[in-house]
Copies of this chain bind each other. A is one copy, B any other.
């Protein structure tokens, strides 16, 4: 592998120049004659020279690279976020290294390690569900490597963050249901210890309270994020004395499961029961009836995270900032009564 690569020395020799002159010519250094630049660049092209980014980065002390750690690429939300990050950072001359934690703290640590070893200029991360101990993240900060969180954010660490306003997303959805005549609104909730789900629950409760509704525990199904759990939840809810006429779900998947149960049992959506999801997964617009949901703007979140990195890297005495993305309702037939 070693010997068949062309270096600036090869170019220099061929042109009777010094390697440093070649280096400068290739980098468009101001005090190199345009004549020299021309012949150097031409020969470089002819000989198919490619700069060794490794060597260059080593010398410069920076690889112009940002590491992105996400739980999985195979999720619409994270894939879109990556695209947003990439759009901003490419424009600024940075490359991306994408690493997956697979929802494992152990793997997340490994990702951090290799990114630090690769001397990335910064790390943008959405943490795994397992990440409670933050030692590895604090270590990144000790190394003075800019660290930006997005979407899944630990609260007990001082750093730049891009967060979704989950509270408002939930509030708006619940409010929509209330103002469109639904009276008994249930909630399929996520685990309490995860901040974003706690917030969604809080938004749901706040809307009910603000509009003078009672919030009853019996209408809140705990830890209900998957399709299966949603199915079961619908079964539970429809067997209550007073059956709810709407369900606000913390996840599109539990919403989907609930819809399946309802449809199988002849309960009409949204006439009998309305369903509202969260995340605006691609499938929501395709199912029958199309599922109303909360759009999180992952692309925008990615862009914002990248922006925060750029600011932090530019300004030496930068102070951590938090950007809040406001979600939007995507109202579809699953909540529109024909009246």
Task: List residues of A whose CB falls within 8 A of some B CB.
Answer: 1-2, 4, 48, 50-55, 57-58, 61-63, 72-76, 79-80, 82-83, 86, 95-98, 100, 113-114, 116-119, 139, 142-144, 256, 282-283, 286-288
Contact = CB atoms under 8 A, between A and B. Distances in A.
A48, A53, A142, A144 interface centre (most CB from chain B within 10 Å): A53
Contacts of A1: 61-62, 144
Contact of A100 (B2, B54, B86): B86
Contact of A114 (B48, B53, B62, B283): B53
A298 to B, nearest CB: 9
Given A53-B117, A83-B73, A144-B4, A97 B100 contact: no
23 contacts: A1-B61, A1-B62, A1-B144, A48-B143, A50-B116, A51-B117, A53-B114, A53-B119, A54-B58, A54-B118, A73-B73, A73-B79, A73-B83, A74-B79, A74-B80, A74-B82, A75-B79, A83-B100, A95-B97, A96-B98, A98-B98, A287-B287, A288-B288
A4 B223 CA distance: 45
B119 A52 contact: yes
Contacts of A80: 74
Contact of A55 (B58, B95, B113, B256): B58
A113 B48 CA distance: 11
Contact of A61 (B2, B83, B143, B287): B2
A191 to B, nearest CB: 24
Question: Nearest 6 pairs between A and B by C-beta?
Answer: A288-B288, A74-B79, A53-B117, A2-B61, A283-B283, A54-B58
A50 B117 contact: yes
B114 A95 contact: yes
Contacts of A96: 98
Contacts of A79: 72-75, 79
A52 B4 CA distance: 24
Contacts of A287: 283, 286-288
Contacts of A118: 53-54
A58 B61 contact: no
Given A53-B118, A117-B53, A286-B283, A73 B82 contact: yes
A9 to B, nearest CB: 15
A245 B186 CA distance: 43
Nearest to A52: B119
A113 B61 contact: no
A48 B139 contact: yes
A51, A58, A72, A139 interface centre (most CB from chain B within 10 Å): A58
Nearest to A95: B114
Given A53-B119, A114-B53, A287-B286, A74 B76 contact: yes
